[in-house]
Each structure stands twice: as C-alpha cells, then as structure tokens.
Amino acid sequence: MEKPDFNIEEVTKIIRGRRSMFVAQFKENDPVDDSVIEEMLENANWAPTHKLTQPWRFIVYTGEGLKKFANYQAEMYKSRAAKNGTPFIEATYQKFKENPLKASHVIAILMKRTENSGIPVMEEIAAVSMAVQNMYLTASAYGLAAYWGTGGPTFWPEAREDFGLEGEDMLMGFFYVAKPASDRWPTGKREPIADKVGWIRE
C-alpha cells in the first residue's frame, strides 16, 4: 500500500472543530440517513487496537427502536427506585422516556473482552474510546449534533445481561446523533497545552 497523502490542515481542522451538542440543540423529526451512521461505525472500526482484539461493539437504535430504548431505560429506572428504596423522580423518568425520541439515532457503546487475550482492561477501554472519537469526528465532519453520555443504564448492573455482557465486558454509554437545530457551531475552549506538558531534552 502506498503511503496516504494526508491533508494535515484538514485533519487539524476536524480535530479542533469537533464539538458535543446535546438534546436541547437537536433538530427533531428529521432523521440522519442510515448511510452516514454506517460510515461513522466503519470509521470507528479503524481505531487502534492492541493485538487486533477490536473490542468495540455497537447497538444502533433508530425509528421505533428509539421508543424501545426509551421505554426500557425509563421502566428500569422506575423498578430500580422501587427495589433500592431510592426516591423516584418523575422528571428523571420523563427525561429517560423522552430524550432518546429527540435523537435520530442512539448508539449503545460496548466493550467486549477477548478471552485469554492477556490485554489489560484499560487498553480495551482506551480502544473503544478511540473508536468513539472516530465516530465523533465523522459526525462533526457531516455537521451533525452528537454527544457521548454515560447516563441511564450505563452503570446499572441489572442492564448487563440485557446487553449481553459477561465478565469484564462493559457498557460504556450511549452516543446520541441528530441534525442540529441551528447552523451555529459551538465555540470550543481549552487551556493552553503548554500548561499540561513537560519536556525532557537531556
């Protein structure tokens, strides 16, 4: 394979231009084409992965599937509150039930361990995170609103079986995608990199 001819200006532009946009910024009832989501997932599949374990797995909810996911997390929230004796908050229940319906697609992000791979769990988590970054960059390149959230069932033990998780497998959150309601792109903010780097030259 020939060495690719990358455009560093464009690479830098998309990395520094990537933004998170949340449900309040979504344009509702105007779905993103599935082909765009498929391209995001294909780019996710090219993330770095030690020993090519490729630990990322995705479940895509769209159309009626969004209602299924929304009802699932809302009802699990209600049952957890009753079972654990924690306060049931109606507003939280409604948020679980309504927010997914405002997205075009919601993508569950899973990390599946390869048995006896010998690879530290941290490396597999990092690989999935880099896969999600590829999704983020692709979504931004298409001008889409997207964010990675770890609310809802992400850390609920009861959800593990429903998502086919075993052992050290993890549910790592949900990636929400929609068209943005506005043409205005969010402003980014970072502290200077010089404050976060030490150089050792000799």
* Binding site residue list for FMN: 18-20, 50, 148-150
Cβ atoms of residues 169 and 111 within 8 Å: yes
Question: Pick from 50, 97, 55: which is nearest to 73 by CA?
Answer: 97
Sign of CA dihedral 39, 41, 150, 18: negative
Q: How does 71-94 read in b/e, with b if 16+ C-beta sit within 10 Å?
A: ebbbebbbebeeeeeeeeeeeebe
Question: Pick from 88, 59, 65, 61: which is nearest to 76 by CA?
Answer: 88
Binding residues: 18-20, 50, 148-150
The whole-angstrom separation of Cα 157 and Cα 142 is: 35
3-state secondary structure of 28: coil
User: DSSP for 83-138?
Assistant: HHTPPP-HHHHHHHHHGGGGSSEEEEEEE-PPTT----HHHHHHHHHHHHHHHHHH
